[in-house]
């Protein structure tokens, strides 16, 4: 059977539905598909019905490789309409019932190719198996690496980098970074420290708001990559960010309008990165020995930067944060699965007070802090 790329397979369908924003991270992935026309026709039928359940809602789609299931995965979602939760729940329940039924012919078509299709409350998904050789390469993008040697870990990841394998590390929590950057500038603060930055785009988002940034990490390889976004345009470009946004929206299909994402500086252009770079210092440093003076920074913005396993180290890192942030400054920490990393337990001892910067609350005279946890 001839191979067909994801874009050749699904491109005509999306060309006929230009209002749907598509992520297209894995458009070059090649598949073997019996009857691509029939598959597209079934998808079009499901879409027409989908639109009756979610009339006039912005639609978006993500197409990516699922390395665990070894499939190409298409997820088509609708932005949730602005309505009270009970009504939305009822709408989703009825949509789920209808879509489960309507999706059956598409599912049959996908099954003929060894895949499947599902309809849920606000989405439709389609999975097609990857040919063995393609699956093997996709797995290589996500090597399982030991955690101890961070620099080696980043070296391998960057050597095998694809947009799909690193997008989460580059853009994780970047919506929070954007909000906190804007708030930081509004408060009249000027300096920001980002400890254990990894590959995150955050330093550039703060610099974009005219703030002066110090980004640290123990890994020189990660710092070198994030310091030169123009060298990695497939990761740090505006198109890469937009693909990530669409992809996230399609995954969670809630509350985010795919037509109004926060713009990002076009870091793929050497001129843009060059203009912002003088505002950022990238410094190799241990998280418990930051290379700045006491009370010398206004704001500390940290994501997944608190040690999870070792409580003594956690305490040393937080005490280091308290040392470097000036009174009246602000600490923001976001963690995935941060159960052991609760700043609140420490806040009284440190004299910090909670400030809801995400809701625009102004900082006070004492050092403020906010923490955010998310699953996954």
DSSP states along 110-157 = HHTTT-EEEE-SSEEEEEEEPPHHHHHHHHHHS----SS-HHHHHHHH
Helices (H), the chain: 6-15, 36-53, 85-102, 104-111, 132-141, 150-159, 163-171, 174-186, 202-208, 220-227, 233-236, 238-252, 270-276, 311-324, 344-350
For position 161 contacting ligand SAM by CB under 6 A, the verdict is: no
Please select the residue that binds ligand SAM; options are 217, 245, 248, 268, rule is CB under 6 A. 217
Report, in Å, the least distance between residue 194 CB and ligand SAM: 8
Residue 175 binds to ligand SAM (criterion: CB under 6 A): no
In the bound complex, what is the minimum distance in angstroms from residue 216's beta carbon to ligand SAM? 7
User: For residues 172 and 209, which CB has a smaller minimum distance to ligand SAM in the complex?
Assistant: 172
Q: Give 13-47 as a DSSP string.
A: HHHT-TTSEE--TTTT-EEE-S-HHHHHHHHHHHH
Does residue 196 interact with ligand SAM by CB under 6 A?
yes
| C-alpha–C-alpha distance, residues 366 and 293, integer Å | 19
The single residue among 303, 333, 347, 367 that binds ligand SAM, judged by CB under 6 A, is 303
Quote the least distance from Cβ 92 to ligand SAM, whole Å: 31
- Between CA 201 and CA 194 the distance in angstroms is 11
**Among the residue ranges 28-36, 37-45, 249-257, 300-308, the one whose residues contact ligand SAM (CB under 6 A):** 300-308
Contact 117, 107 (CB under 8 A): yes
Is residue 165 a contact residue for ligand SAM (CB under 6 A)? no
Rank residues 104 and 156 by Cβ distance to ligand SAM and give the closer one. Answer: 156
- Which residues, 6 or more positions from 131, have their beta carbon under 8 angstroms from its beta carbon? 3, 30, 31, 32
Rounded least distance, CB 29 to ligand SAM, Å? 26
Q: Determine the interface stretch with ligand SAM among 30-38, 54-62, 243-251, 301-309 (rule: CB under 6 A).
A: 301-309
Q: Which of 150, 269, 328, 342 is the binder for ligand SAM (CB under 6 A)?
A: 150
The residues facing 118 across adjacent strands are: 125
Binding-site size for ligand SAM (CB under 6 A) equals 16
- Shorter beta-carbon distance to ligand SAM: residue 189 or 314: 314
185 binds ligand SAM (CB under 6 A): no
Handedness of CA 204, 210, 216, 221 (dihedral sign): positive
Paired residues of 116 in beta bridges? 127
By the rule CB under 6 A, 243 interacts with ligand SAM:
no
333 binds ligand SAM (CB under 6 A): no
**Interior/surface letters 142-154, b for 16+ CB within 10 angstroms, e for the rest:** beeeeeeebeebb
Site for ligand SAM in 273-292 (CB under 6 A): 286-287
Among 6, 46, 65, 197, binds ligand SAM (CB under 6 A): 197
DSSP state of 281: E
- For ligand SAM, give the closer residue by CB, 77 or 307: 307
Helix axes 163-171, 238-252, angle to 10 degrees: 90
By CB under 6 A, residue 64 contacts ligand SAM:
no
Region binding ligand SAM by CB under 6 A among candidate stretches 93-101, 217-225, 231-239, 247-255: 217-225
Q: How far is CA 58 from CA 175, 206, 236, in A?
A: 20, 30, 26
Q: What residues make contact with ligand SAM under the rule CB under 6 A?
A: 150, 169, 172, 196-198, 200, 217-219, 222, 286-287, 303-305
């Amino acid at each position: 059977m001839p191979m067909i790329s994801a874009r050749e397979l699904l491109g005509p369908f999306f060309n006929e539905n230009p209002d749907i924003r598509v992520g297209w991270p894995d458009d070059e992935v090649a598949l073997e598909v019996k009857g691509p026309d029939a598959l597209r026709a079934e998808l079009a039928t499901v879409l027409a019905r989908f639109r009756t359940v979610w009339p006039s809602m912005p639609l978006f789609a993500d197409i990516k490789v699922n390395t665990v299931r070894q499939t190409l995965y298409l997820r088509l979602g609708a932005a949730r309409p602005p309505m009270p939760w009970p009504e939305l729940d009822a709408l989703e329940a009825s949509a789920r019932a209808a879509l489960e039924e309507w999706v059956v012919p598409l599912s049959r078509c996908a099954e003929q190719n060894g895949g499947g299709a599902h309809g849920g409350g606000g989405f439709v998904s389609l999975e097609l198996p990857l040919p063995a050789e393609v699956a093997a390469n996709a797995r290589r993008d996500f090597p399982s690496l030991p955690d101890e040697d961070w620099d080696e870990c980043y070296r391998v990841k960057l050597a095998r980098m694809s947009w799909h394998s690193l997008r989460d590390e580059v853009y994780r929590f970047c919506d929070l970074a954007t909000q906190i950057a804007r708030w930081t500038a509004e408060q009249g603060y000027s300096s920001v420290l980002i400890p254990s930055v990894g590959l995150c785009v955050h330093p550039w988002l703060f610099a974009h708001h005219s703030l002066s940034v110090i980004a640290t990490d123990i890994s020189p390889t990660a710092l070198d990559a994030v310091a030169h976004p123009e060298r990695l345009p497939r990761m740090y470009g505006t198109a890469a960010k937009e693909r990530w946004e669409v992809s996230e929206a399609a995954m969670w299909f809630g509350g985010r309008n795919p037509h109004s994402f926060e713009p990002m500086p076009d870091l793929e252009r050497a001129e843009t990165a060059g203009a912002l770079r003088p505002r950022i210092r990238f410094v190799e440093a241990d998280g418990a020995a930051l290379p700045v003076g006491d009370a010398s920074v206004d704001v500390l913005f940290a994501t997944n930067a608190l040690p999870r396993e070792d409580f003594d180290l956690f305490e040393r890192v937080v005490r280091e944060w308290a040392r470097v942030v000036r009174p009246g400054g602000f600490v923001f920490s976001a963690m995935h699965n941060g159960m052991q990393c609760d700043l609140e337990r420490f806040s009284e001892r440190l004299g910090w007070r909670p400030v809801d910067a995400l809701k625009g609350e102004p900082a006070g005279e004492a050092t403020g802090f906010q923490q955010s946890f998310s699953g996954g």
